[in-house]
């Protein structure tokens, strides 16, 4: 999630005024995406997008030193470059979310392509590298149409957005910190990225929020408490993605796709 879409920001404000359901603070006619935890407690969630990267190890060290758990929304193509980081993240007690396989925008993708080539393909790769397939999905750039969201939710996935973008991908880390320091909501979901600036930013964010009485939680903790564990839902034994993969290996014919 490197570029925040202005229209999406305006949409999130509009959604805020529309009513709520049990899990979600924002919604249209029904709750559909998680922007913020619905809680009276001073909870906050740290989410880190676009990894793993060369900086993920340093980020993990910062989190370990401060005894904070986070949600890492990884990209499949980046896992291919740093497969060992999946186990390191999980062994640190952190949670891994699905940020798609390619980090391509869902805007022009079919529902079938999103489901098979992005969501299921990511979970297959995650499992292959020792991770647990997840129901936590953050679309690239935070963008998904209502139809796409409905399609994934019907299949048991939680669509996760954020309530505060630190813009660590764009601005000096000091400016990102100021955004957090001005933030006073309960149940906030903070968006950071697996980059060098986050290595400097994270300790300051943790210090600031801790001094203001916030408790760091993960999305999985919250969802489990609500009766919605974050593990990926059961799926068809032979998905279209798996059939495509077998076709590429020559195991099945084109007519069987």
Query: What are the tens digits of pLDDT across the range 64-92?
Result: 999 999 999 999 999 999 999 999 999 99
Cis omega (within 30 of 0) on the bond before 194?
Answer: no
Place of tokens 């990511």: 122
pLDDT at 18 over 70: no
CA distances 233 to 63, 132, 136, Å, are 29, 11, 10
Beta bridge partners, 98, equal: 74, 137
Q: Model-level pTM?
A: 0.83
Q: How many CB atoms lie within 10 A of CB 129?
A: 17
Write out the two tokens for 115. 């489901």
The fold of 6-256 is: TIM Barrel (3.20.20)
Residue 229 pLDDT grade (very low, low, confident, very high; cuts 50, 70, 90): confident
Higher pLDDT, 31 or 127: 127
How far is it, in rounded angstroms, from Cα 84 to Cα 52?
9
How far is it, in rounded angstroms, from Cα 217 to Cα 4?
24
Q: Most confidently modeled of 31-45, 104-118, 224-238?
A: 104-118
Assess contact for 43 and 222: CB atoms under 8 A.
Answer: yes
- Mark residue 165 as left, alpha or beta (left: phi above 0; alpha: psi -120 to 50; beta: remaining): beta
Task: Catalogue the active-site residues.
Answer: 49, 193
pLDDT at 117 over 50: yes
């Amino acid at each position: 999630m490197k570029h925040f879409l202005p229209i999406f920001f305006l949409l999130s404000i509009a959604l805020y005024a529309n009513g709520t359901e049990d899990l979600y603070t924002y919604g249209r006619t029904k709750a559909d995406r998680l922007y913020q935890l619905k809680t009276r407690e001073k909870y906050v969630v740290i989410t880190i997008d676009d990894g793993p990267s060369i900086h993920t190890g340093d980020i993990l060290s910062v989190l370990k030193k401060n005894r904070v758990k986070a949600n890492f929304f990884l990209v499949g193509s980046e896992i291919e470059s740093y497969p060992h980081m999946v186990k390191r993240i999980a062994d640190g007690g952190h949670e891994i979310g699905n940020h798609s396989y390619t980090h391509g925008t869902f805007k022009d993708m079919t529902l079938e392509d999103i489901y098979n080539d992005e969501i299921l393909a990511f979970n297959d790769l995650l499992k292959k590298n020792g991770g647990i397939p997840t129901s936590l999905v953050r679309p690239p750039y935070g963008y998904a149409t209502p139809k796409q969201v409905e399609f994934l939710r019907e299949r048991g996935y939680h669509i996760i957005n954020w309530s505060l973008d630190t813009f660590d991908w764009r601005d000096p880390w000091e400016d990102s910190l100021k955004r957090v320091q001005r933030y006073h909501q309960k149940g906030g979901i903070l968006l950071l990225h697996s980059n060098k600036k986050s290595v400097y930013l994270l300790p300051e964010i943790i210090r600031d929020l801790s001094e203001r009485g916030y408790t760091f939680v993960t999305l999985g903790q919250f969802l489990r408490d609500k009766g919605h564990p974050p593990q990926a839902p059961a799926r068809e034994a032979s998905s279209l993605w798996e059939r495509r993969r077998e076709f590429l290996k020559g195991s099945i014919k084109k007519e069987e796709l």
